[in-house]
Structure 1
Amino acid sequence: MLKIGVTDNDPYVYVDTTGDYAGIDIDIAREACKRAGIKPQFVDISWNDRDRLLKNGDIDCLWCDYSPNYREDVYCWTEPYLTVTVSVAAKKTSGIKGLTSLDESKTIAVIAGSVSERRLLAGDLGISPDVHVKSYGSAELCKAALVKGYVDCWMADVQSLDRLVAQYPGVYRVFADDVMTVDLGVAFENSYEGEYVKNLNTVLFDMDRDGTIDRIVSNYKAGATADGQRAES
C-alpha cells in the first residue's frame, strides 16, 4: 500500500459531493497505482507537517500539485508527470492590467513555500519590489483571501484560476501574460531507496505517452464534463 499525503487544493485534490477524493492528482495517482499494481491510500495532512510525516513514515509520498523546482535535493522525486502554467487572477473591476501594473498599493496572494512565492520574493519576475506578497497555507485560503478582498490578486496555476473564474462568472479574469511554467512530481523522503519511484516513473511515462494524463487534466478544465457529469468545484 502506498500512503499518499494530500491536502485540499482544487482542482488537484478535493473531496467531492459523495465524500470521496477527486481531482487531477487523485485521478492520475489512482490510474498510475492501478497500472503499477499498487494500492493507494490517500491521507489528508496538514501541509506544514508534510516533512515530519514523511520522515516518520506516516505517509510514503506527497502527491498534491507539488513541484521539484528549487527542491530537487530536498526529496527523492519521480520524473515530472505534468507541467503547469502559472498566471495571476484579479477582479475585472480592479483596474489591474497585468503584473507590470502592480504597485506598492497592491497585494498578491501565493501559497507559502511555493515556487511562485520564492520567485516573487527573489524579485526575478519583473514585478515592482514594493508589491506586497501575502502567503497562505493552501490554495483555498488564497482564493478566499481574494474573494473577501484581503488581497488584490492571486498567483497560481491556470487550472486553479480558471476554476475560480468559472465559480464566480463575470467577476474575475486571468491575466493573458503567463508568468512561468512549473513541473509537478511525486516526492518521497530524501533517503528513500524502494521500488515505488522506479515503478511510478514507468507507468507515468506510459500514461503521458498514451494520452491518459492529458485526458484526466481536460476533465477538470472549467466547464468540462467527464462521463456526462460536470466536474465538481
Structure 2
Amino acid sequence: MDRRQFLKLSAAALAAPTLAGLAGCGGTATKTQKKTKLVVGFDQEFPPYGYVGDDGKYTGFDLDLAKAVCKMEGWEYKPTPISWDAKDSLLNSGQITCIWNGFTIEGREKDYAFTKPYMENRQVVVVPKDSSVKTLADLAGKNVITQADSAALDLLSKGGAQEKLGSTFKKLQTIDNYNTAFMMLENGSVDAVAIDYPVAVYNIGDRKDEFTILDEALNSEHFAVGFAKTAEGKDLAKTVQADLKKLDKQGKVKELCEKYADQGVSYDLWVL
C-alpha cells in the first residue's frame, strides 16, 4: 500500500536549494531558519494512508504523520496528490520532496533514500463473498487486478516473490486506482484484487457481505518514507526518521493509529 518539499514553481531551479535548506534543519528548526515548504507526494485514492476526506481536504494516517513532522521542524506542509506510476519522475525532478503514502521499502532499497521502516504491512487478495476462490491456489485461471507500479504488482510479476502464483492467472491487469478496481470486482470484470491490507479494509468498509479478504496473505512487508537518493535526501530521511521516533515517544503515533483503527491501522504494526 501512506500517507515534504518545496514549491512546485520550477522543479529544477528550486529542488536543490530547498532540499539543502531542509537538510540543514537536522532536528528542530530554529527561529532564524527560513520556513520551508515541504511537498509530500501521495496517492489521493490510497486510504487510510492518503485520501480526500468528507470535508474535501487531504487526510490519512501517513499525511497526519507528515504534518506532525513538519510542525516539529517548522516546515510548511504541502500534501501533493500524484499519479503513482509517475512518482519517480516527480521525485527525481524535484517536484516533490518525498513519497510518503504506504510506500513499501522491500525491493526498492537501492532506488531511494529511505527512513527505516516504520509500519508493517501485508499484501492480500480480495474476492466477492460468494466467490469460489478460497485460497491463493484457487486464483489459477482467474483475472486479477492491482494498482499500476504497486508492491502487489512487483510481487506477482516476473522476478517477484509470488511470480509462480502470478503465472497461473488468466490475466494480471493493472489500474490507476483501487476505487476503480473494486468497481470492476463488483461488476464481475475481474475475479480478484491484489491490494494492501489496510486499503482493502477501507474499501470494503461496511460491505463485508459483498467482499472478503483471503486468509492467506501474499507477503509481509514494511512501509518507509522515500526521498531522492542524494546527499540532501539522505539527510532528510535521517531527520524525518528521528522525528518519527520522537512522535512515538510522545504518544502521537499511538493516537493516530487509534484514529484510523477502524480502517486497518494498528499500533501493534508500528516497528520504528
TM-score normalized with structure 2 length: 0.74
Aligned counterpart in structure 2 of residue 111 of structure 1, from 147, 150, 164 = 147
SS for the counterpart of 2:106 is: coil
Question: 1:209/1:133 Cα in 2 relative to 1: closer, same or farther (>3 Å)?
Answer: farther
Q: Output the CA distance in 2 between the equivalents of 1:180 and 1:211.
A: 29
Distance 2:263 2:161 in 1: 34
Q: Is 1:76–2:113 an aligned residue pair?
A: yes
1:165 CA drift (Å): 2.5
Q: Supply the distance in 2 between the matched residues of 1:20 and 1:94 (Cα, whole angstroms).
A: 36
Distance change in 2, residues 1:124/1:197 (3 Å): closer
Write the mapping of 1:11-90 to structure 2, written as runs, cut at 5 A.
11-90=48-127
- TM-score, scaled to structure 1: 0.86
* Structure 2 residue runs without a partner (length 5+): 1-36, 265-272
* Counterpart pick for 2:135 among 80, 91, 98: 98
Distance in 2 between residues matched to 1:138 and 1:157, nearest whole Å? 12
Task: Give the match's secondary structure for 1:93.
Answer: coil
Distance 2:185 2:240 in 1: 36
Cα deviation for residue 209 of structure 1 reads 4.6
- What is the SS of the residue equivalent to 2:64? helix
Partner Cα separation in structure 2 for residue 47 and residue 128 of structure 1:
22
Q: Which of 162, 170, 173 is the aligned partner of 1:134?
A: 173
- Tell whether the 8 Å contact from 2:84 to 2:148 is kept in structure 1 after alignment: no
Partner SS for 2:198: helix
Partner of 1:229: none
Contact 1:88 1:154 in 2 (8 A): yes
Contact 1:10 1:139 survives alignment (8 Å): no
Q: How many residues align?
A: 223
Pair 1:7-2:43 in alignment:
yes
Give 1:153 shift: 1.1
Distance 1:223 1:11, change over 3 A: closer
Whichever of the two has the greater Rg, that structure is 2
Q: Distance in 1 between matches of 2:201 and 2:73?
A: 32
Alignment deviations for residues 103-159 of structure 1 (CA, whole Å, 9 cap, x no partner): 21x111212222221221236436262212111222333323222322111111211
Q: Which residue of 2 aligns with 1:160?
A: 199
Question: Is residue 157–residue 166 contact of structure 2 (8 Å, CA) maintained in 1?
Answer: no
Query: How far apart, CA to CA, are the structure 2 residues paired with 1:192 and 1:156?
Result: 33
How big is each residue's C-alpha offset from its partner over 1:7-54, in whole Å with a ceiling of 9 and x where there is no partner?
221221111121211111111111222223322111122223222222
Matched-pair identity in %: 25
| 1:231 match | none
| TM-align CA RMSD | 2.2
Q: Which runs of 5+ in 1 are unaligned?
A: 225-233
Report the residue type matching 1:188 in the other structure: F
Contact residue 110 and residue 135 of structure 1 kept, 8 A? yes
2: CA distance, partners of 1:42 / 1:4:
5
Cross-structure match for 1:228: none
Could you tell me whether the CA contact under 8 Å between 1:76 and 1:188 is conserved in 2? yes
Code of the residue aligned with 1:77 in structure 2: it is: F
